[in-house]
Amino acid sequence: MSPRFPRVPEAPPLRPSRRAFLECGAAALGATVLTRRAAAAPVPATLQAIPDQSGRVMTVRGLIDPSELGPTLMHEHLFIRFTLPTDQPERWARLGLRVPETPEELALWNQPFTVRDRLKLMGAFYRNQDAYNLDDVATAVAEVQAYQALGGRTIVDVTTTGIGPHPEKIREVVERTGINVVMGTGFYRYAWHPSDMARRSIDDLTAHMVRELTTGFGNTGIRAGIIGEIPAETIEFSPKESDEVRVLRAAARASRLTGAAITVHSDLRRVHRLHTAVDVLEDAGADLSRVVLGHMTHEAAGQPDLLESLVARGVYVQFDILGNPLDVEIPTRPMVDAIERLIMRGHSERILVSQDVCTKMQLLQNGGYGFTFVASILVPWLRRQGVPSPAIDNLLIHNPRRVLTFVAPDRAPQRPG
């Protein structure tokens, strides 16, 4: 017998094409990293120069009405350079890894990725650079088109400074497919920080994000539409605040100044830090109803009280590693169970879902789900469990729309930092 889910009010109808996304079944499946972006445009000289984009969504093709978003994946990577330079072993050490050294390790590191190596390389995280590099436009177009065939309309690309964002390549994908793409701004995890990060003030970090939200990435004219993914792993306060804490503070400031939401790269395993990250954002002035806590894996999913306490603070909890090929290490089923529990408790308006495609092993063309797992597996499963359609619409349409729609900027002076 299916569990009884609470009644969720029907939202105003959107374009009918969403049904193809919500009702599809499994049968539907068929550059250097760490340099700064060149030619940075100036930050607006005054707060008054920051545009008021409230009520609109910023995409790669410009501002659009929120009703145009449709079904949305909130945490993906169309292009990414998810590796570290081998001549900087200190960066590898930050992840508890070491650079490839032996002839066998170097051979594995340098060999081209093929689908035949998929299983072998899934157990060799960071040991093959090609497997963790998404840079081909034609491949991205094909993967996006598979998502669109299931009714998908929007992808949020959260590739930030350090892991190779490619605004112009994304624009080409948009032009060839018609997909909406919202890009993120910010700084990725500690191991990928710019070499001068410790010398940058919070004001400098804030200005970087505001620039990309209001003027664009370099001279491309392409603007970010969300802040993040912002890491919340190395959260330290003594003897001084860690760089990731300072980036969180800068993200909160940039959010207030521009009206953009914040999406956080949570610590996948040390989930006790989640409230601390929220505390930092709140202390820096962030509106918690505009904060998304990403990477709610099986670790967080197995702690219902923790999830309830986070939702009670007003944040969104995002289950965005669904359908990962490393299912033994990051199993999908506990995350799906947690989604169902939260919906049963009446929290469908605070849940987001995605897949975090960031490696070649996840692509549809290489035997993964690509961007299709949510539509082809998750949604049919939730329907079979009796989850009402309005609750599913919240996860895929209405919650993303609320997050991505800018609110009015806060013109109040910011504390220097």
User: Helix 333-344 to helix 304-312 angle, to the nearest 10 degrees?
Assistant: 50
pTM: 0.89
Q: Looking at the predicted structure, is the pLDDT value of residue 16 above 60? A: no
Residues written for the chain? 417
Quote the Cα angle for 102-106-109, to 5°: 140
Asked if 73 contacts 354 with a C-beta cutoff of 8 angstroms, the reply is yes
d(CA 414, CA 286): 12
Q: Give residue 5's pLDDT.
A: 58
Q: pLDDT per residue over 54-101, tens digit each? A: 999 999 999 999 999 999 999 999 999 999 999 999 999 998 899 999
Contact 155, 145 (CB under 8 A): no
Read off the pLDDT of residues 130-182 as tens digits, 9 standing for 90 and up. 999 999 999 999 999 999 999 999 999 999 999 999 999 999 999 999 999 99
Pairing state of beta strands 133-134 and 57-59? unpaired
Report d(CA 295, CA 269) in Å as an integer: 9
Q: What is the pLDDT of residues 342-393, one digit of tens each?
A: 999 999 999 999 999 999 999 999 999 999 999 999 999 999 999 999 999 9
- Residue ranges and CATH numbers for the domains of the chain are 44-83+129-404 (3.20.20.140), 89-120 (no CATH)
Cβ-based neighbour number of residue 41 at 10 Å: 16
Percent of the chain with pLDDT over 90: 71
**Buried-state track 19-36, b at ≥16 Cβ within 10 A, e below 16:** ebbbbbeeebbeeebbee
Q: What is the pLDDT of residue 117?
A: 77
- Using the predicted structure, report yes or no on whether residue 24 has a pLDDT greater than 50: no
* Amino acid symbol at 387: V
